[in-house]
Structure 1
Amino acid sequence: MNDLASTAAPGRTVRGPAVRDALRRAAPALAAYAAIRLLGLVVLAVWSAANGKNWHTLLTARWDALWYTRVAEQGYGYSVQLANGDVHSNLAFFPLLPWLERGLAALLPLSAADAGMIVTWTASLGAAWALYATGERLYGQRAGVALAALWAALPVGIVQSMAYSESLFTALAAWAVYCVLTGRWVWAGVLASLAGLTRPVGAAVVAAVWITAAVTVWNERAGGVGLRAAFGGRHRGMLLGVLIAPLGWCGYFLWVGARQGSLLTGYLDVQGGWGNGFDGGIAFGSFIGDLLSGPAFAAGLGLLIGLALVIWLYVRGVRMGQPLPLLVYGGAVLLLALTAKGYFGSKPRLMLPAYPLLLPVAVGLARLRPARSCLVIGVVAVGSALYGAFWLNGSGPP
């Protein structure tokens, strides 16, 4: 089941009764996911009321949610110049979420902010379904339920309920990777393109499609199959999916570049104005080093342990024989998050879409007795709810 040939095997488009059957199987995972996120919202509401804050405002009208709402209402072109000369432009925010906010607000009596929250909540259920389907296909139903529940119970899981783009991106990315696993290449390309319109890390989904396709063709050629046969027959639609996959990401990247007057570096310049960019992890390493050498040694040590755990989970996934699309996607998300040079407090949020890292834990929980597995997830969910409420009422996700 885990080798590339089997995971890239062709699959038919799921319709009608098959969709209903798939949804029925996923119902326990969706129920667990919804219960965990509802717990997080209830704790947030109580905590916020005690602090004289509004939970709804924290979810829809703070930090990046404000920028997405402004794009939905006014379009691109807004920027803020800071005292140090840096320019924060809303061109840094990819367009799919604000497009959906604008469209839903036009159809229903909703503000763009509330439309964003509805999109996020709906997309988060779609992501949970995709995670369940992935876990079920590879390791069985219980692993699928555990994977969806664990993703809901991440320490920064409250972001999945905010008017942010992480839930929408994860839903599109996870279904795209699942389509690669099942050989639905055209759907994989379409979903990868949409993911590329959602967040810069959409490049990770494109990489999963391209590298898996390349390795599949290489293996076919090594087996004596010609290119025409490799792209047809068992892998019909592969070439089209490969061509479609980068259109969303490249389209927005180049559009911003053209608007900024530099086709290839325009978007990078916009990100630079926010203090973002990629330096191979040098700035992040220096940040950890400063913590370890100063009065915040305990925080630095905790961060170092967390980083080691994340890397261990990825290595564990490799040793478990996770399929290539999952390894490429998860590894790319992890690499992009850890090598970004700005907003160090955002790194847990940036790694939120890296759901393949949770598969080893999900498989371990699936091997426990159901009562023990539920107890572990329950304890983690309570911790996540408390941390999420504390976080949003404090510094929050930058």
Structure 2
Amino acid sequence: MTSGATERVGPPAGDAVGARREFVLRHVLVPLVIFAANRFVQLLLVWALVKPDSSVSSRLTIWDADFFLRIARDGYDRGFQYDPSGHLVGNTLAFFPGYPMCVRALAFLGLPYALAGIVVSLLFGAAATVLIHLLGRRLRDDRFGYVLAVLFCAQPMSIMFSMAYSEAMFCALVLAMLLAMHHGRWLTAGAFGVLAGLTRTTGLAAALALAAYAAWSIWTGRREPGTPRVRPAVAALAALASVPAYWLWVGLRLGRLDGWFVQQSQGWGTKIDWGAASIDFVTSTFRTSDGLVPVAAALILVGTGVLVVAAVLARFWWPMTLYGLLAYGTVVGAAGYFNSRPRLLVPVLSALLPVGAALVTARTRVLVPCLVGISLLGCWFGAYMITVWPYTI
């Protein structure tokens, strides 16, 4: 005698394997191909533009990359450093440990430090491209995810994804945090938030966005019995602690709790001024500058701000737009060397959303040439900045 109840069975094993294979092909392999094609074209342009007395590898490991590689190889400086006239100069303590520790781990396997630094950035850049596609398809659809992947790789300073700098790693960690938040996986989001905070100061912006979303989740969950509240709180507190934890470590190493901020302001010339220097740079550049890079930096600074606000007004997923606002604020709210601002704006991910939304509705025959043109322009600009432009980025 059989029961009247029917037993629920899952899909055949073959169908599940096929679905996973299709997912990998469409949502992992395709973004990786986009990233690889962009890297190939941009590095080809670097090779074409590099001066005879230099090389591609040397251009990918210049300026701040030297500090990251020194940390990976020798560890951090133990105190303040001064020039012969007694003025404080910048040292390695300004740089967060996440990226150089990854470089050290790869170098431990036998790679030269310079090559390890480039490989780490390439790996995290590839991961970030996949992650922004996955987040885009959750926010809208597959097409939107692909457009975001192309725009992410095509932004003006995407050359950072091939250099021994921390931008690629930081972007990947923030995107992983945002994707985990969108899935409601709080502890995973918190872990990525902690790692982002140990990679760049902008990790504090990511932590604040995570904390705001966690607070909103706890508040709205009060009306639903059984909704977990501990995990969002743990994730938020852990992420919020990571950047201050590094500041504290530096302070103890230097013998004064404000040591990291002293090092930044006096050693590196970077201090919070709430945007006064940014406004002065933009206005003076538009009035008097005749150089390509300063004008481009001013345009990118202003344009990114417009796009960040547009993302908020268009009501994209608010934790991501909040992170974008905060990350943008960390760039425009500090005085310093402004021709590096296009690089520092790379992690302001919400700026890509309005552009992607505007392009995604176009017909394919219009969309593809637009994306190709944007990609070629971005590839050229990044290559120009590390080969022809003689100053630091």
Whether these two folds match at TM > 0.5 is yes
Does residue 104 of the first structure (1) align with residue 97 of the second (2)? no
Q: CA deviation at 1:93?
A: 0.6
Distance in 1 separating the partners of 2:239 and 2:357: 30
Give per-residue Cα distances to partners, 1:245-277, cap 9 Å, x unaligned. Answer: 1343222111001112222x2211111121012
Does residue 219 of the first structure (1) align with residue 214 of the second (2)? no
- The verdict on how the C-alpha distance between 1:39 and 1:267 changes in structure 2, with shifts beyond 3 A counting, is same
Paired residues for 1:363-378 under 5 Å: 363-378=357-372
Contact between 2:194 and 2:242, CA under 8 Å: does it hold in 1?
yes
Distance in 2 separating the partners of 1:23 and 1:81: 52
Contact between 2:201 and 2:243, CA under 8 Å: does it hold in 1?
yes
Distance in 1 separating the partners of 2:299 and 2:381: 18
Contact between 2:300 and 2:342, CA under 8 Å: does it hold in 1?
no
Does residue 318 of the first structure (1) align with residue 312 of the second (2)? yes
When structure 1 is superposed on structure 2, of 329-338 and 235-244 the one drifting more is 235-244
Distance in 2 separating the partners of 1:72 and 1:358: 32
Alignment RMSD, CA only? 2.3
Within the candidate set 368, 381, 386, 1:387 is matched to 381
Q: How many residues align?
A: 372
Secondary structure in structure 1 of the residue aligned to 2:90: strand
Q: CA deviation at 1:156?
A: 1.1
Distance in 1 separating the partners of 2:23 and 2:213: 25
Does residue 126 of the first structure (1) align with residue 127 of the second (2)? yes
Secondary structure in structure 2 of the residue aligned to 1:352: coil
Give the TM-score taking structure 1 as reference length: 0.87
Distance in 1 separating the partners of 2:349 and 2:221: 29
Within the candidate set 88, 91, 97, 2:90 is matched to 88
Q: Which letter does structure 1 place at the counterpart of 2:120?
A: V
Task: Report % sequence identity.
Answer: 31
Q: Which letter does structure 1 place at the counterpart of 2:69?
A: T
Distance in 2 separating the partners of 1:370 and 1:125: 24
- The verdict on how the C-alpha distance between 1:267 and 1:295 changes in structure 2, with shifts beyond 3 A counting, is closer
Contact between 2:301 and 2:342, CA under 8 Å: does it hold in 1?
no
Secondary structure in structure 1 of the residue aligned to 2:58: helix
Contact between 1:64 and 1:164, CA under 8 Å: does it hold in 2?
yes
Paired residues for 1:1-398 under 5 Å: 22-26=23-27, 27-48=29-50, 51-60=52-61, 62-77=62-77, 81-82=82-83, 85-107=87-109, 109-221=110-222, 224-225=223-224, 229-230=226-227, 232=228, 237-263=231-257, 265-272=258-265, 273-294=267-288, 296=290, 305-393=299-387, 394-395=389-390, 397-398=392-393
Q: Which letter does structure 1 place at the counterpart of 2:341?
A: K
Q: CA deviation at 1:385?
A: 2.1
Q: Which letter does structure 2 place at the counterpart of 1:194?
A: L
Contact between 2:42 and 2:159, CA under 8 Å: does it hold in 1?
yes
Distance in 2 separating the partners of 1:153 and 1:120: 16
Contact between 2:270 and 2:334, CA under 8 Å: does it hold in 1?
yes
Give per-residue Cα distances to partners, 1:227-258, cap 9 Å, x unaligned. Answer: xx44x1xx662222123213432221110011
Q: CA deviation at 1:170?
A: 0.3
Secondary structure in structure 2 of the residue aligned to 1:68: helix
Aligned to 2:12: none
Distance in 2 separating the partners of 1:267 and 1:238: 30
Distance in 2 separating the partners of 1:43 and 1:366: 28
Q: Which letter does structure 1 place at the counterpart of 2:166?
A: S
- The verdict on how the C-alpha distance between 1:22 and 1:248 changes in structure 2, with shifts beyond 3 A counting, is farther
Secondary structure in structure 2 of the residue aligned to 1:24: helix
Give the TM-score taking structure 2 as reference length: 0.88
Contact between 2:218 and 2:232, CA under 8 Å: does it hold in 1?
no
- The verdict on how the C-alpha distance between 1:74 and 1:299 changes in structure 2, with shifts beyond 3 A counting, is closer
- The verdict on how the C-alpha distance between 1:279 and 1:46 changes in structure 2, with shifts beyond 3 A counting, is same
Contact between 1:292 and 1:298, CA under 8 Å: does it hold in 2?
no
Contact between 1:47 and 1:389, CA under 8 Å: does it hold in 2?
yes
- The verdict on how the C-alpha distance between 1:204 and 1:369 changes in structure 2, with shifts beyond 3 A counting, is same
Distance in 2 separating the partners of 1:19 and 1:354: 31
Distance in 2 separating the partners of 1:257 and 1:167: 27
Contact between 2:217 and 2:232, CA under 8 Å: does it hold in 1?
no
Give per-residue Cα distances to partners, 1:318-349, cap 9 Å, x unaligned. Answer: 22211121011111111101111011111111
> Structure 1: which 5+ residue stretches go unaligned?
1-15
Give per-residue Cα distances to partners, 1:83-124, cap 9 Å, x unaligned. Answer: 6613111100111111111111111x2111111111100000
- The verdict on how the C-alpha distance between 1:68 and 1:383 changes in structure 2, with shifts beyond 3 A counting, is same
Q: CA deviation at 1:369?
A: 1.8
Secondary structure in structure 1 of the residue aligned to 2:272: coil
Larger Rg: 2
